[in-house]
Amino acid sequence: MNLLTGEWIPVQHEGVFEHISLKALLTQDEDWQISLPRDDMEMACLQLLVSLTQVLFIPDNKGQLVEHIAQPISESDYIAAIESKQDWFELDHPQHPFMQIRGVKAKELTDMAKLFAGLTGATSSAFVNESGLAGQLCPSCTAMGLFNQAANCPGFGGGFKASLRGDSPITTLILGSNLRQTIWRNVLCKKMLDVSMPWFETARNKSPNWVDLVKEKENIEAHQTGLLRGLFWQPAHIELIKGDGEGVCDCCGQQGECYIGFKKEKFVYEFKGVWPHPHGPRVFKVARGEREEKFSSFTTAAPSWTLLTQFLIRKEQEREGHTPAPVVSQARQMDVVNRRLYLMVGGYRNKQASILERRHELFNIAREWQNNDRQIERIVDTGLTYRTELRKKLFGFFKATGASLQDQAEHRFYKQTEPLVHGMLRNMDFKESKAAFSDYHQQLREATHNIFKQVTEPYQNEPKMIKALAIARRGLEKSLNELN
């Protein structure tokens, strides 16, 4: 199967499920939607489509990009664009198959499920997936799994390298009105690339690392790594193995040739610097005079809104800061102010090689978001402040009594307030925000009070704890009053 010419994209349109080609998707204007059994695979499919389109077409400027969003491209433009690259995207190529190496030495076959993050080895597998999803996979699901594993997941463990962005980076993409427009909204134009990846022109025609192989123990510099090479970086040596005859794909149900496993082999190299991935927000801090930069990731169970400012707003402070993904920065500069921002956020939370949970969600942010950083920060920070006060007062109660309630309270807080925060972002009229913020405070305050009451309920009548509880309650009351 060839990703540039084959019909592999699983889509749905008016209840009909089919596989279409990238050419059909970019040259026609149908209302297709990606259709897969897992939300993270759908996002991986989209990210793969965006990455393919990005390396085929780099619009010169905003005007050209707007044109691409509005109008399908011509078939002849598509054919001309794929001509020099077609060979690199063939899943079964005899010499350099897509994101694989021929002749991988491995004693045994690895199960296909290992290409689907979190399917096996997760501490909460039942939560992460349905069982029996990947014994054998069709070429389409395999290509998406291969790409997702390499770009978005922790390494296989045992010395295997993780993705260019680290163990489990967060990906942010912009949602458009249909699939074709969504793809173009996440393609960076030349002007944007000049800013985010100034060396991209010189490294533009470098072949991917399954064609031009990385040498054992090679030192690779981020600023010599081109767009194609970085977007499709394969950190491990992998070789897919096909089954005999036909089978039914355990993921999408398609019948045909299937892969039944893969060989994998680790290899060592040093990647120096941070490659400015178009789809990933980054954070930095300065420690002992050195700036340490890395990609945003989910490191706690806190919901995505707690990190929203990292996804949207550039912040350069002396000791710390963050930079949104270039695709978000482009939307900020390019979009008309009366357009809402539909931001897809996806990522995994891992502990070493295993996935603890996956997060894939959509933020719908009110128009004029570009001009209202302060207010967006205020929405997030206000939520965080109420959480912190609740935790602090319960921590005081814990110190006095030994009853540890702060973690379960925090969990409840996130659960109860998540719709509030999303509602605030969605319905905000940034020009007339006073009443909305006052209402927001009121609701956060109520939720905080209720949670405090719920978690301390069992201790209301314990004589030894009544005093500590009263102190905590009064303390909370006082600090919430100050917040309002």
Where along the sequence are the contacts to Zn ion (CB under 5 A)?
138, 141, 249, 251-252, 254
Closest C-alpha to 383, from 341, 445, 329: 445
For 181, the enclosing helix (H) or strand (E) is helix 179-185
Token representation of residue 483 = 């917040």
Q: Which is nearer to Zn ion, 18 or 462 (CB)?
A: 18
Min separation Cβ 138 and Zn ion, Å? 3
Contacts of 221 (CB under 8 A, 6+ apart): 272, 273
Contacts of 130 (CB under 8 A, 6+ apart): 37
Question: Least distance (Å) from Zn ion to the CB of residue 277?
Answer: 27
- Three-state SS letters, 461-474: CCHHHHHHHHHHHH
DSSP class of residue 188? P
Instruction: Find out whether 6 and 48 touch, Cβ atoms under 8 Å.
Output: no
Q: Which CB sits closer to Zn ion, 251 or 480?
A: 251
Q: Is the dihedral angle over the CA atoms 19, 25, 27, 32 positive or is it negative?
A: positive
Q: How far is CA 248 from the centre of its chain?
A: 29
**Residue 1 beta carbon to Zn ion: minimum distance, rounded to whole angstroms:** 11
- CB of residue 250 vs Zn ion: minimum separation in angstroms? 8
Q: In 3D, which of 270, 334, 344, 438 has the Cα closest to residue 69?
A: 334
- Of residues 183 and 252, the one with the C-beta less far from Zn ion: 252
Q: Which is nearer to Zn ion, 8 or 233 (CB)?
A: 8
Residue (192 or 251) nearer to Zn ion, CB = 251
DSSP H helices, 262-352, are 308-312, 326-334
Report H helices in 358-433.
373-401, 406-427
Report in angstroms how near the CB of residue 254 gets to Zn ion at its nearest: 5
Closer to Zn ion at the Cβ: 242 or 391?
242
Please choose, from the candidates 145, 167, 132, 161, the residue with its C-alpha nearest in 3D space to the C-alpha of residue 240: 145
CB-nearer residue toward Zn ion: 249 or 312 = 249
Closest distance of CB 135 from Zn ion, Å: 12
Among the listed residues 167, 263, 169, 161, the one whose alpha carbon sits nearest the alpha carbon of residue 220 = 161
Angle at 58 between CA 172 and CA 373, to 5 degrees: 35
CB closer to Zn ion, 249 vs 325: 249
Residue 161, token pair as written in the block: 């390298």
Min dist. Cβ of residue 289 to Zn ion (A)? 51
3-state secondary structure of 137: strand
* Residue 40 and residue 358 in contact, taking contact as beta carbons nearer than 8 Å: yes
Distance of CA 345 to the CA centre of its chain: 5
Min dist. Cβ of residue 210 to Zn ion (A):
22
Pick the closer one to Zn ion by CB: 45 or 476. 45
User: Minimal distance in Å, beta carbon 439 to Zn ion?
Assistant: 47
Which residues, including other chains, have CB under 8 Å from residue 273's CB and lie 6 or more apart?
221, 222, 223
Least separation, in Å, of the C-beta of 248 and Zn ion?
A: 9
Closer residue to Zn ion, CB minimum distance, 138 or 220: 138
